[in-house]
Chains A and B, each alone.
Chain A
């Protein structure tokens, strides 16, 4: 066995080198999995409820599915709707911002919207885009646009850039709850949150794919020009849509 001048045998040296490399890889791996777990989605996905009914749109027949969301000014208001998720006290969507939708389906989403608002940075997001008929239904009335100074939040669904999945872009502006309008009425008693607005819309999913959505109204804290906190933390005013 070869021995170096400092007395270390070559086999010991090889073993120590291999152990060191394994340890190095383990350290890097441990850091990676720590960051991976920190950024893991803490929410359970919200699966759309499939219906046995079908609907014909533009001569094609689609199965139907539906999902219901809420958007709340804070954690307490979300809890009143039974959404006791371990979230911070930010403005937030609930019960989950990860939606799982069936492919090639007519999906109807209902959003109960309870927040106020100010002014959109970009009036474009006041327009309804990508829904069936180009409209949304607000408290029973079909509209195709909400004034940019009357939007509380938006549900804006984008595709992750990819050539391997069908495009999907939906923009739904949610109207503000203002003093004096019917959304301002308390639901049960004055101690509870207001009735809010009920917004319903439908869109048709394509093939399987991963998409992201977010609110385009800057409703975060004072950092990043109100794009901080809720706006820049996954699971509050942004999420993903898995079509499968």
Chain B
């Protein structure tokens, strides 16, 4: 919620919000203005069919159209009204700011430029679920196509696009899966704040991200993305018009994450409740803040890589073209300088959620808060020094393979601290085996498998054999899906009562859990075997010797898909008709459980004062 001005000193009459422009703008007006902007930009720059440099001009027109859509949508939904009014000296009135915060607007506020952090959290939650649904559907297509050798359920061109679009859709969804919904809805309440530090930027981060979704979808209608999500140059420079959608998506998304990252960091640094010293900050907040702080330097490099790809495609600048002095390695570096920290951007909040959950469900204090913080900090620090392990076999400076192997393997140490904290917390406890706790055990197993298999990939000789194989695919799915996504599902089950006022259907949650976790093991253990035997990833055809491994993997994928459909039902059904949740169903001690549902606009009647850490179970406080 934005800070309200003292209106009694206002020299101008206060306009009635009902007549103000902001009351008339919403997702619909944004879409209309966005489409008009996009069409205008595209047709202004559209090349003639016989233009000499037709492909350069076509790329320019398409990129301009996509960025114009994004800007137009933001204009149409009213994102710039606040800054514009400030610029002309007519800042928003108190009533208008209250309106922007969604006060008294019911469900309509979810379709508006709403500054309430709780609304933004729900927008992220629904958006993430939609993205995971789309990405998951594409995963099912991929696995169906790989069910039998030469199955070719979809053609090779469509398969290539499926692999690329599944990858980037899931990466985007996973980056925001925890910090988006929970970082926005729960975190400000957890630290005792009335809202985020910059509520308008908070809304901006969501709606900017929203504009990237249709842009990414447009790739399907522009010939697809043939490069995989890594978009390696020079293939991405040479690729057809669908590649423009990928480029625009990444640039828009990087802007969104930068805004969100700065906002979350500023909120945690500046807006904690009185008495909430750093060692009293809930561990989820620490993990989420480390994650977004890590994203702040990481994503601009990806954005830069995409800007250079765009200029290569539009202006023939040749950043990545060896013929004119460019280098494909430059792209690989820029990509992986983002790419490896990015997996920790995804992983840290998921693990932090589990650390938040573990003390609650075993009724014990968190085992070594300091070790947890050191683990997060160690991972965040080391993760920016490991990127070139993705380039061992690229031929780039082989003498640096050794140092990068060392830094990569060193990251096992802070990761081990996180395991230690989780295991130490549940050690000799009596777990209350609710869905969040089940997920915790699943993550411990999955992250163990993902971590151990990662050590082989960090090892130069082993990586020479395993790189580019299904083994790699299985490894990173164990960490990203098995650990981070399962952690996020745990967070959903844990905070669902606070975000919706209802309990998540427990039986459906259990059924979904066992379907997804059993299916997951079948799916990716089969893939490990195929990969270790040499099956290459991203290839539509495979040799008959991998027949059974792939058949097993596809069977596992169907179980996972069924499990997630059940979870989706549980969420929708529980949200509409679930049992009414008490204010603090888990008996937790963090601040979000001290406020009622619906959470008041400014969260607290009186800002809390913190006198102890939030994990004092068994200490009598």
Q: Contact at A39–B155, with CB atoms within 8 Å?
A: yes
A86 within 8 A of partner (CB):
no
Q: Which of B554-587 contact A (CB under 8 A)?
A: 561-562, 565-566, 568-570, 572-573, 577-580
Chain B minimum-CB-distance residue to A223: B240
Chain A, residue nearest B579 (CB) = A5
| CB of A49 within 8 Å of the partner chain | no
The CA of A163 and the CA of B535, in the complex, are separated in Å by 13
Q: Report the Cα distance A40→B569, complex, angstroms.
A: 33
**Chain A contacts for B141, CB-based, 8 A:** 31-32, 35
The reply to whether A36 and B153 contact each other, CB–CB distance below 8 Å, is yes
Given known A-B contacts A6-B579, A32-B141, A224-B239, A39 and B154 have beta carbons under 8 A apart: yes
Interface SS of B by simple majority: helix
Q: Does A147 contact B (CB under 8 A)?
A: no
A222 CB within 8 Å of chain B: yes
Q: A68 vs B486: C-alpha distance in the bound complex, in angstroms?
A: 57
Contact with B along A5-49 (1 / 0, CB 8 A): 111100001001100110011011001100110111000000000
Contact (Cβ within 8 A) B150 A210: yes
B240, A228: Cβ atoms closer than 8 Å: yes
Given contacts A6-B580, A160-B541, A210-B150, contact A17 B569 (CB under 8 A): yes
B579–A163 CB distance below 8 A:
no
Say whether B580 contacts A5, CB under 8 Å.
yes
B40 proximal to A (CB < 8 A):
no
A13–B154 alpha-carbon span in the complex (Å): 36
30 A-B pairs (CB sep. < 8 Å): A4-B579, A6-B578, A13-B505, A17-B570, A17-B573, A21-B562, A21-B565, A21-B569, A24-B568, A25-B565, A28-B137, A28-B140, A28-B561, A31-B137, A35-B141, A35-B154, A39-B152, A39-B154, A161-B542, A162-B543, A162-B544, A163-B544, A163-B545, A222-B54, A224-B226, A225-B238, A228-B238, A232-B157, A233-B157, A234-B155
Q: Does B446 contact A (CB under 8 A)?
A: no
In the complex, the chain A residue whose C-beta lies closest to that of B156 is A234
Whether A234 and B157, one on each chain, are in contact in the complex, defined by CB atoms closer than 8 angstroms, is yes
Question: Given known contacts A6-B578, A28-B140, A31-B137, what 5 new A-B pairs fall within 8 Å (CB)?
Answer: A7-B577, A21-B569, A24-B565, A39-B157, A232-B240
* Number of chain A residues close to chain B: CB under 8 A: 37
**Most chain A CB atoms below 10 A, which of B144, B240, B505, B562:** B240
The 4 closest A-B pairs by CB, nearest first: A39-B155, A24-B565, A20-B569, A161-B543
- Contact indicator per residue, chain B 251-280, by CB within 8 Å of chain A (1) or not (0): 000000000000000000000000000000
Q: A223 CA to B569 CA in the complex, in Å?
A: 44
Contact B150 A160 (CB under 8 A): yes
B55 at interface (Cβ–Cβ under 8 A)?
yes
- CB distance B566 to A21 under 8 Å? yes
Least CB distance from B156 to A in Å reads 7
Shortest CB-to-CB span from B62 to chain A, Å, is 13
The CA of A222 and the CA of B316, in the complex, are separated in Å by: 13
Find chain A residues with CB under 8 A from B502 CB. 6
CA distance A6 to B577 in the complex (A): 6
Q: Is the CB of B543 within 8 A of A163?
A: yes
By beta carbon, the residue of chain B nearest A29 is: B140
A52 at the interface (CB under 8 A from B): no
B149 interface residue per 8 A CB criterion = yes
Given contacts A16-B569, A17-B508, A225-B238, contact A32 B153 (CB under 8 A): yes
Residue of B nearest to A209 (CB): B150
Using Cβ atoms and an 8 Å threshold, which residues of chain A touch B601?
A: none
